[in-house]
Amino acid sequence: MLRRSAVILVATLAAVAGAVSPASAGGPRHVRGTETIPVYDYGTAIRETVWVESPLDSDGDGARDRIAADIVRPREARTRVPVVMEASPYYACCGRGNESELKEYAADGTVSLMPLYYDNYFVPRGYAFVGVDLSGTARSTGCEDVGGPAEVASAKAVIDWLNGRGTAFDASGARVTASWTTGKVGMIGKSWDGSVANGVAATGVRGLETIVPIGAISSWYDYQRYNGILRTREYVRYLHSYVNGRPAEACADELAAMRAASGETTGDFTAHWAERDYRTAARNVRASVFIAHGVNDKNVSTGQFGLWWDALAKHGVERKLWLFQAGHEDPFDVRRAEWVRTLHRWFDHELHGLRNGIDREPRATLETAPGVWTDERDWPARGVRDRSLPLGDGTLGAGAKGRGVTKTFTDESLREDALVANPTAVVPGRVAFLSAPLTAPLRISGEPSVTLRIQVDKPTAALSARLVDYGTGTRVDHFRSEGVVNLATESCWGAATATDDACYLDTTEVTATADHAVLTRGWADAAHYRSLRFTTPLEPGRWYDVTVPLNTYDVTVPAGHVLGLVIGQSDPQFTVTNDQNATVTLDAGRSTLTLPATGAAVTAPTTPQSITTTTLPGAAERRATDNTPVVPLR
Query: Active-site positions?
Result: 191, 297, 328
Q: Vertex 231, ends 190 and 573: CA angle to 5°?
A: 100
- Could you tell me whether strands 442-446 and 225-226 are parallel, antiparallel, or unpaired per DSSP bridges? unpaired
* Type of residue numbered 609: Q
- Distance, CA of 94 to CA of 110 (rounded, Å): 20
Burial class (CB in 10 A: 0-12, 13-18, 19+), 99: middle
Sign of CA dihedral 340, 346, 347, 353: positive
Helices (H), 270-374: 271-274, 303-314, 336-351
Q: Vertex 623, ends 621 and 626: CA angle to 5°?
A: 115
Q: Which of 254, 250, 252, 248 is nearest to 141 (CA)?
A: 250
Q: Which of 598, 322, 602, 600 is nearest to 444 (CA)?
A: 598
- Distance, CA of 258 to CA of 150 (rounded, Å): 12
Phi-psi region of 244 (alpha: psi -120 to 50; beta: other; left: phi over 0): beta
- Distance, CA of 111 to CA of 543 (rounded, Å): 62
Taking CA atoms, 518 is separated from 376, 466, 561, in Å, by 25, 7, 13
Q: What is the DSSP letter of 304?
A: H
Burial class (CB in 10 A: 0-12, 13-18, 19+), 305: buried
- Could you tell me whether strands 372-376 and 511-525 are parallel, antiparallel, or unpaired per DSSP bridges? unpaired
C-beta separation of 190 from 304 below 8 A: no
Q: Which of 480, 461, 469 is nearest to 564 (CA)?
A: 469
- Distance, CA of 120 to CA of 7 (rounded, Å): 15
